Amino acid sequence: MSYRTALSEVLTGTVGPVAEATAGQGRFPRGAVTALGGAGLLGLTVSTAFGGGGRGLAEAVDVVARTARVCPATAAVLQSHYAAVAVVEAHGGPWLRTEIAAGRHLASLALAESEEGAPEGAAAEARLLAPRSVATGSGGVVALRGRKRPVLAAGEADTYVWSSRPLAAPDGLTLWAVPAHAPDLFVPARPGAAGPRGSATSTVLADPVLVPAEAMLGTDGAGLDLVLRTVLPWLLELRAAAETFRPPTLDPEGPRRRADSLAAS
């Protein structure tokens, strides 16, 4: 089965029927994410060597664009997931890549550090390049301390791609794969104004979180290049796709009709 056929089935059978509740009640589309994982779409861009679909940015853009027609919140979650997976594909370990490929793992970016009440968008993205979060190493264990906002799928993702100041390098930033179940990593609030309703966009706080040194993605201080060359290009393409096809208003019957029309295409 092609990824397009699999996506059409998920949009018709799962995403469309719950899109109204997702937007109207602000309910995270857990069932939709599970179905996308089961259909191989969370692992779409993971290498076939790890059981993934072996596809790239073009196919991820297609998935996000078609999903955005049905459920903006699910599309937003996929944007962050695919951008995070691009980093994991470049530097993540075999276990994490295999879990994502199998559809058992939702990833998200925890890079921005906009202040409460501060304007988001371009100003928030500029902060991706100069994180205030810090990392301190001792005996093979790294303590990460910081507050990330906005984070999509906050409290719902399984792994966050987290940025910090370098551990020892003189400049740049460092990226880490932080498991959501790590002690002292928590979501203190869920502001409803950030992100599409239902996307669980919120703050994630590390106070601090302990991770093994092996959780580093790439080398110390080299994360800036990863953000510039991988994360931002993926995010810009994925966001443009979602915005192009996002419905302007919520039609109670719209999600189901859009899903049915996609299945027929």
Q: Indicate the pLDDT class of residue 189, thresholds 50, 70 and 90.
A: low
Residue 260 CA: distances (Å) to CA of 4, 32, 157, 253, 257: 14, 16, 28, 11, 5
Q: 219: closest CA among 252, 153, 171, 156? A: 171
pLDDT the model gives residue 255: 42
Which of 76-80, 167-171, 185-189 shows the lowest per-residue confidence on average (mean pLDDT)? 185-189
Structure confidence by residue, pLDDT tens digits, 21-35: 888 898 999 999 999
Angle between helices 232-245 and 72-91 (to 10 degrees): 160
Amino acid identity for residue 227 in this structure: V
Q: Indicate the pLDDT class of residue 142, thresholds 50, 70 and 90.
A: very high
Which of 129-133, 140-144, 220-224 shows the lowest per-residue confidence on average (mean pLDDT)? 129-133
Under a CB-based contact definition with an 8 Å cutoff, are residues 15 and 70 in contact? Answer: yes
Q: Indicate the pLDDT class of residue 138, thresholds 50, 70 and 90.
A: very high
Residue 194 clears pLDDT 50, i.e. is over it: yes
pLDDT the model gives residue 244: 77
Mean pLDDT of 248-255: 43
Strand blocks (E) in the chain: 107-110, 134-138, 141-151, 159-164, 174-179, 185-186, 202-212, 216-217
Residue 255 CA: distances (Å) to CA of 29, 66, 261: 13, 12, 10
Mean pLDDT of 77-85: 98
The whole-model pTM stands at 0.88
pLDDT the model gives residue 264: 47
pLDDT the model gives residue 190: 61
